[in-house]
Structure formats: C-alpha cells, structure tokens
C-alpha cells in the first residue's frame, strides 16, 4: 500500500469511493463540498496537487482518501490544517490506512510550520470521534451554539 498526494487522475476513483461509502446518507451540500476539492485537482494547469489531499492506493486501486485544507480562523479555531474528509473502503478499515493518511497530513503540516490539525464532527459521529482519538486528537474547547430562526 502507498500513501501519496492526490493526482488529477484520482478524482473519479475518489468520487466513486465517497459515493459507495456514504450512499444515500450524503447531505445535500456534501457533493458540492467534495467537488470543490476534486475540481481543483482536475485542473491540468496546476503545477502542484492540492495541499493536504492524499490517497491510499493498493495494487493500483484507491482504497482511501483524505481531503484537508489550511484552516483560517473559522469555527473560532486558531489557524491550522483542517480535515474535511477521511474515508477508507470498509474492507480495508482497521488496518492502519486512515492513520497513515492522517500522518501524511501531519507531515505536510510540519513541513509548513502548521502546528495544529482540526476536524469538526457532528455530536453523533461517535465512531469518527473514536478514530480521531486513536490518532491522538484531543477534544477542542470550542462550543457551538445554534437556534431555530
């Protein structure tokens, strides 16, 4: 298995894997959010792949991906890297693939002097929270409030 930066030619495989994993559970805005990353990766004029975007490849097949971006001060957090999506094919989960994708992002952050990596989850995403905890993430001290309009 190889962890490498997202390439132009990976976008369809990433789209397919994302749809296979999330299926009908996708939010209405998720496809647009994913497209923001993948449309950039498809530009043939880019001198470099998008920052913070990695894939896990096994025998020529994409088995996982991580999409991240540089975080400004959104969500009340200090600047850092922010994970937007990390996905591993179900039959390849619990084999360290997700952790290796996180470590690839951590390496990119270290090289650029970015000290923190963030991920924002819904409260009910307990499985994802457990995964991030296993990857040495800590719960942030930010509280989010909402109300009906």
* Burial tier of 103 (Cβ tally within 10 Å: 0-12, 13-18, 19+): middle
List domains and CATH numbers for the chain: 2-134 (3.40.630.30)
Across 17-26, 83-92, 107-116, 121-130, least confident range: 17-26
Per residue in 68-104, pLDDT (tens digit) is 988 877 666 678 898 888 999 999 999 999 999 999 9
Residue in the block written with tokens 């998720």: 30
Which of 129, 126, 22, 39 is closest to 83 using CA atoms? Answer: 129
* Burial tier of 47 (Cβ tally within 10 Å: 0-12, 13-18, 19+): exposed
Mean pLDDT of 113-136: 86
Three-state SS at 87: strand
55 phi, psi to nearest 5 deg: -125, 155
Q: Is the pLDDT of residue 132 over 60?
A: yes
């Amino acid at each position: 298995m190889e962890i490498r930066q997202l390439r132009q030619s990976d976008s369809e495989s990433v789209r397919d894997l994302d749809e296979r994993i999330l299926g009908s559970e996708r939010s209405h805005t998720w496809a647009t959010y994913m497209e923001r990353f993948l449309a950039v990766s498809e530009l043939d004029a880019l001198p470099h792949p998008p920052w913070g975007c990695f894939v896990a490849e096994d025998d020529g097949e994409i088995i996982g991906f991580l999409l991240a971006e540089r975080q400004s001060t959104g969500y009340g957090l200090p600047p850092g890297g922010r994970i937007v999506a990390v996905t591993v094919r179900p039959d390849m989960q619990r084999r360290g693939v997700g952790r290796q994708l996180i470590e690839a992002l951590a390496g990119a952050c270290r090289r650029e002097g970015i000290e923190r990596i963030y991920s924002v989850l819904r409260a009910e995403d307990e499985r994802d929270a457990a995964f991030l905890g296993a990857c040495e993430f800590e719960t942030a001290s930010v509280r989010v409030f909402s109300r009906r309009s």
